[in-house]
Amino acid sequence: MVTVREILQAARALRPHIFRTPLRDAFLLSERVGAAVYLKLENWQITGSFKPRGALNRMAALSAEERARGVVTASAGNHALGVGYAARALGIAAATIFVPRTAPRAKLEKLRQFPVTVRPVGETYADAHRAAETFQRETGVTFIHAYDDPRTVAGQGTLGLEILQDLPDVDALLVPVGGGGMIAGIAVAAKTLAPGVKVIGVQPAASPALRDSLRDDKCYTEYVAAPTICDGLAGGIGEMVFEAAQNKLIDDVALVEEDETRAAIRALAETEQLIVEGSGAVGVAALLARKVDLAGKRVAVVLSGGNIDLGLLTEIVERKT
């Protein structure tokens, strides 16, 4: 597991390249749920999600020889954008990204602005991940893991530092969980600097890989998800988040249904004028659906991304679902 010192080092390395996103007081949502709610606006981050934090920290550590050879990764969308942005920021010319053919169109269209080669393959993140690993073995380029790498986790953990700096007396953190790199890093920062803070992961009920891994005492690095609008949270988890959860750095895991996530997206648009994708809205969904008992507490919710398809957003806001 990474240390808070490594997260602090990552924060210094990232400072020239990313935004320090606001932690916004969401007083209208607070009134609805009976807690003091603060929103960490990573939907306003470069590329529209938190992913550049991990990708940049990992890729900044590449040697000159590794940069010359290039990198490869697999992603459902947001990590691909993070790698693309990092490649441009760090001058890495060759970046190959394997994506599932089901990857959201909005994210794939954004990728065109970056110096990357996109290779659609398979139907799931696991399919793309296997293809990327094969490519890495055949070419010798460096694989940039989306979540199960210490430098990636340290970069994503900088979110925890920023939240604690802006809200030192926070009682609980609600963090979306897909592969788990973000919550693993945030949990290390939070439990080291403010041990009393509750760290609660939130997953779609369609893909409860962390919940099931803890229940079965087995890390499900691959997981067959049901259909979900939370594409960035679908599939298996990494070994690092499993270790963090087993070591009690993560206090609980809440699950939200698809209609609850849609309601959260709509509420964020209506009450906060924020565009948030399904994966980024699950923390608010957990609050609105009373999946967590945080009444009277100061709660920071990570809105991890805003790259939602315009057609889907229109359906949700107009209540056509």
Given the residues 40, 49, 51, 107, the one annotated as active site: 51
pLDDT at 103: 79
Cα–Cα distance for residue pair 180/169, rounded to 1 Å: 25
pLDDT at 113: 86
- Closest to 164 (Cα-Cα) out of 184, 192, 183, 203: 192
**Catalytic-residue membership of 51:** yes
In the predicted structure, residue 321 carries a pLDDT above the cut 60: no
**Catalytic-residue membership of 49:** no
- Fold classified for 4-50+149-317: Rossmann fold (3.40.50)
Task: Tell me what the pLDDT averaged over the chain comes to.
Answer: 95
The mean per-residue pLDDT over the stretch 282-307 comes to 97
Query: Element (H or E) spanning 202, and its range?
Result: strand 198-204
pLDDT at 107: 77
Q: Is the CB of residue 159 less than 8 Å from the CB of residue 185?
A: yes
Q: Is the CB of residue 97 less than 8 Å from the CB of residue 143?
A: no
Q: What percent of the chain has pLDDT over 90?
A: 89
Cα–Cα distance for residue pair 125/38, rounded to 1 Å: 31
CATH label, 52-143, candidates 3.40.47.10, 3.40.50.300, 3.40.50.1100, 3.90.110.10: 3.40.50.1100
Q: Report the first-to-last Cα separation within the chain, whole angstroms.
A: 41
| Confidence band, pLDDT 50/70/90 cuts, at residue 104 | confident
Q: Which residue has the higher pLDDT, 268 or 100?
A: 268
Cα–Cα distance for residue pair 163/175, rounded to 1 Å: 12
In the predicted structure, residue 105 carries a pLDDT above the cut 80: no
In the predicted structure, residue 319 carries a pLDDT above the cut 90: no
Least confident of 167-181, 205-219, 306-320: 306-320
In the predicted structure, residue 26 carries a pLDDT above the cut 90: yes
The mean per-residue pLDDT over the stretch 39-44 comes to 98
pTM above 0.75, yes or no: yes
Q: Is the CB of residue 190 less than 8 Å from the CB of residue 166?
A: no
- Provide CATH 3.40.50.1100 ranges for the chain: 4-50+149-317, 52-143
Six token digits for residue 184: 């693993």
pLDDT tens column, 47-88: 999 999 999 999 999 999 999 999 999 986 899 999 999 999
Given the residues 49, 207, 279, 304, the one annotated as active site: 304
Q: What is the SS3 assignment for 293?
A: coil
pLDDT at 101: 87
pLDDT at 63: 94
pLDDT at 282: 98
